[in-house]
Amino acid sequence: MNAPMPLAKYHQVYLVLREQLAEGRFADGLPGELELVRQFGVGRVTVRRALEQLVRDGLIVRQAGRGTRPVAPLPGAGGAAAAMESSTHPVARLGGLLGSIVQVSQSTTVKVLDWRAVPASASVAQALALESGTRVRRAVRLRSTRAGPVSLITTHVPESLVRGTKRADLVQHPMLQLLQRSGTVLGRARQTVTARAADAETAAQLQVPVGAALLSVTRVVHDADDRPVQLLQGRYRPDRYEYEMELSQVGGVDARIVAREILP
């Protein structure tokens, strides 16, 4: 068995700085390049490459004469989510797993491959507690980062919950926010994660060989009255998608999902 290849030096510097930024270490600005060279014991080119990656990730901004600073959060924090909350369709802030799902969706670009009303298959009807054949809305979306495709996601929701939702809305906002905008109060979610081999259609969309191992996620989201409101079935490239569980307290579980860009 071959030993894993060591991380490139610039990537090691990048990872450390990214963690320190997340911890709020550089509120007054990052150290200069020469100081980082001294701290990490690497060359200036290595430091510069790590900083360039942080710029591409949208984590820092570099300006001549002003140094390097963390990117300040937008007023009200939450970016696109905050904009949704201040619109004429206020939505509740999401925390835990659902909040993490929304954050990830906002850090990727989306291409809508399908958005139409279809009769619910037996499996979809069962998941959404509907009669078989009931009309539901089916959305198929391809999500990508700068590195390329991350996931191919198919969702089904009861048609009555997304009347008036247009294809363009799916490009701008994740389905959970669109459901909230329509008046749905979100409750719990149940999710399973397993492995699946890529079929020909999925392989073509995710740019992997047919038969490649993918992460398969199935999620059913319920509203506050415990009625199923969304069935999600996703296929994710494991080299660009990371699922992290954080045990926040004894007896409680918080989950974070990270869509991760692969560096050269």
Q: pLDDT tens digits for 41-65?
A: 889 999 999 898 888 878 888 887 7
pLDDT at 66: 78
pLDDT at 231: 96
CATH class of domain segment(s) 80-259 = alpha beta
CB contact at 8 A, 37 and 47: yes
pLDDT at 190: 87
Look at residues 129, 136, 133 and name the one whose alpha carbon lies nearest to residue 159: 136
Helical axes 44-56 vs 9-22, angle rounded to 10° = 50
Look at residues 199, 191, 209 and name the one whose alpha carbon lies nearest to residue 253: 191
CATH class of domain segment(s) 9-70 = mainly alpha
pLDDT at 86: 36
Residues carrying CATH 3.40.1410.10, the chain: 80-259
Q: What is the pLDDT of residues 230-243, one digit of tens each?
A: 999 999 998 887 76
Q: What is the pLDDT along the chain (264 residues), one digit of tens a residue?
A: 444 445 578 888 888 888 788 777 887 889 989 999 998 888 999 999 989 888 887 888 888 777 888 886 533 333 333 333 333 333 344 455 556 666 666 667 899 999 999 999 999 999 999 999 999 999 999 999 888 899 999 999 999 999 889 999 998 888 888 888 888 888 888 888 888 898 989 999 999 998 888 999 999 999 988 999 999 999 999 888 776 655 555 455 555 555 454 443
pLDDT at 85: 37
* Pairing of β 148-158 and β 135-145: antiparallel
pLDDT at 120: 93
CB contact at 8 A, 242 and 215: no
pLDDT at 75: 39
CB contact at 8 A, 254 and 248: yes
pLDDT at 115: 96
H-helix segments, the chain: 9-22, 33-40, 44-56, 80-85, 96-106, 122-128, 167-172, 175-181, 200-206
DSSP letter assigned to residue 250: T
